[in-house]
């Protein structure tokens, strides 16, 4: 079959499959994310029908999907709100690191992995999936909930921390010295600080751009700015997702609603591609031998991540149900965990990749399910007492 014909057939099959899965998720009343992930596993590397021709498109589309998810999440908040929340949640970031990095590090040492690989595994268990959680909060209608700013603060602190962690890890994997690690970390943090400063002072320019009556022109400007800022932050050693998020923060409240309407169809399309892409890159044959280790690690770090969200939401004065919603929302791991495992594997540490893949897949599926039923779980844990409002 001609390569272009095969590409169209595979992409058509992917999008038709996504439509069926989205319909099934709506009928079941759950997020479609776990279904997208599992379907990708069955039809990806080592699956029933490899979709090789579509992989280049899916790979690029998945990266765009993460950026659009973080951009639309940033539209829900202003720069001043973000700065105040980050200041209030510095302690939550420390709690997050201690509770979720140490289990991965300890597991790596117990498995007798090299110390630097154990450090990488600690990073895998530490970082939640910003892209997956951003879509999940939207699917569940929780963007306006009282606990959402605390969830957002933890995610942003993690993404900023990655600007320090990844350069240091790369130096450790390559055998470099502390000065190299310090230089890379300083450059990355400078990029984050510059992007945040620009977000706080560029709002009026973005408002002028989005005030145009031409939807096509406004969409192109917004996408162009997002990709340019994301590329700049990535080039300087920080996360492209942080750059996209800060562009969303910079959009003034008075035009944020229009930006959401313009971006919504593109976000839904490319976000679905992102989740399928993760599944397509997962080889089931690598998962089975390490599934027991991954499940044990997933159970431990589910509890520690719930504790992190609980602590952060409590600092915002959120009540019992909201604290549990915050904790379960943070359970899912994803893109950063895979990046960390990939860096370690590239440096010659192949043992970590199957464990990280199985671990991330388990929590990428279990996380959205736990978040969906968190209120039911809260009712079972604490069935007595006066009824609480849905948003606490």
362 vs 344: CA distance, rounded Å:
20
The answer to whether residue 77 is domain-embedded is yes
The answer to whether residue 102 is domain-embedded is yes
CA dist list (Å): 160 to 310, 334, 353: 21, 16, 24
In this prediction, residues 215-244 reach a mean pLDDT of 79
R_g (Cα) of the chain, nearest Å: 20
The SS3 of residue 42 is: helix
Residue 302: its pLDDT value, please?
96
Residue 218: pLDDT above 90? no
In this prediction, residues 310-334 reach a mean pLDDT of 91
Residue 198: its pLDDT value, please?
64
The answer to whether residue 70 is domain-embedded is yes
Reported confidence tier of residue 390, pLDDT bands at 50, 70, 90: very low
Neighbour-count burial for 231-244, b at 16+ CB within 10 Å, e otherwise: ebbbebbbbbbbbb
* 301: CATH: 1.20.1530.20
The answer to whether residue 51 is domain-embedded is no
Contact 307, 111 (CB under 8 A): no
Contact 70, 265 (CB under 8 A): no
Highest mean pLDDT among 63-77, 102-116, 270-284, 357-371: 102-116
Highest mean pLDDT among 42-46, 186-190, 236-240, 367-371: 367-371
47 vs 60, more confident: 60
Reported confidence tier of residue 191, pLDDT bands at 50, 70, 90: low
Residue 391: its pLDDT value, please?
47
The answer to whether residue 390 is domain-embedded is no
208 vs 204: CA distance, rounded Å:
6
50 vs 137, more confident: 137
Q: Tokens 């992102």, residue?
A: 274
Residue 387: its pLDDT value, please?
45
The answer to whether residue 42 is domain-embedded is no
In this prediction, residues 95-105 reach a mean pLDDT of 95
Contact 159, 242 (CB under 8 A): yes
In this prediction, residues 278-283 reach a mean pLDDT of 70
Contact 143, 137 (CB under 8 A): yes
The answer to whether residue 11 is domain-embedded is no
- Interval 289-301: pLDDT, tens: 888 999 999 999 9
Domain count, the chain: 1
Residue 187: its pLDDT value, please?
66
Which range has the worst mean pLDDT, 25-29, 115-119, 151-155? 25-29
252 vs 264: CA distance, rounded Å:
17
Residue 273: pLDDT above 70? yes
The answer to whether residue 392 is domain-embedded is no
355 vs 189: CA distance, rounded Å:
30
Segments forming the whole domain that contains residue 377: 62-381
């Amino acid at each position: 079959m001609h390569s272009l014909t095969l590409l169209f057939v595979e992409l058509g099959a992917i999008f038709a499959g996504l439509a069926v899965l989205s319909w099934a998720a709506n009928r079941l009343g759950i997020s479609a994310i776990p279904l997208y992930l599992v379907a990708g596993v069955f039809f990806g590397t080592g699956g029933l029908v490899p979709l090789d021709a579509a992989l280049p498109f899916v790979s690029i589309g998945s990266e765009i999907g993460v950026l659009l998810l973080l951009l639309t999440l940033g539209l829900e908040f202003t720069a001043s709100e973000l700065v105040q929340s980050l200041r209030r949640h510095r302690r939550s970031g420390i709690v997050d690191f201690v509770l979720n990095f140490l289990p991965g590090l300890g597991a790596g040492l117990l498995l007798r992995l090299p110390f630097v690989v154990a450090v990488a595994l600690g990073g895998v268990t530490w970082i939640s999936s910003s892209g997956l959680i951003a879509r999940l909060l939207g699917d569940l209608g929780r963007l306006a909930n009282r606990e959402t700013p605390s969830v957002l603060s933890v995610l942003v602190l993690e993404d900023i921390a990655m600007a320090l962690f990844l350069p240091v890890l790369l130096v450790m994997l390559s055998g470099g010295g502390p000065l190299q690690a310090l230089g890379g970390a300083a450059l990355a943090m400078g990029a984050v600080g510059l992007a945040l400063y620009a977000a706080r002072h560029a709002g009026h320019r973005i408002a002028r751009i989005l005030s145009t009556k031409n939807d096509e022109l406004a969409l192109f400007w917004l996408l162009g700015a997002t990709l340019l800022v994301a590329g700049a932050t990535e080039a300087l050693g920080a996360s492209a997702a942080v750059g996209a998020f800060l562009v969303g923060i910079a959009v003034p409240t008075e035009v944020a609603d229009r930006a959401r309407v313009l971006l919504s169809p593109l976000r839904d399309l490319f976000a679905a591609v992102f989740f399928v892409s993760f599944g397509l890159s997962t080889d089931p044959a690598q998962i089975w031998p390490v599934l027991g280790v991954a499940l044990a690690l997933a159970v431990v770090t589910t509890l520690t991540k719930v504790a992190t969200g609980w602590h952060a939401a409590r600092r915002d004065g959120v009540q019992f149900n909201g604290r549990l919603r915050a904790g379960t929302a943070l359970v899912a791991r994803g893109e950063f965990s895979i990046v960390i495992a990939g860096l370690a594997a590239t440096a010659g540490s192949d043992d970590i990749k199957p464990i990280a893949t199985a671990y991330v897949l388990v929590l990428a599926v279990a996380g959205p399910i736990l978040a969906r039923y968190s209120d039911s779980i809260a009712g079972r844990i604490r069935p007595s007492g006066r009824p609480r409002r849905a948003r606490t």
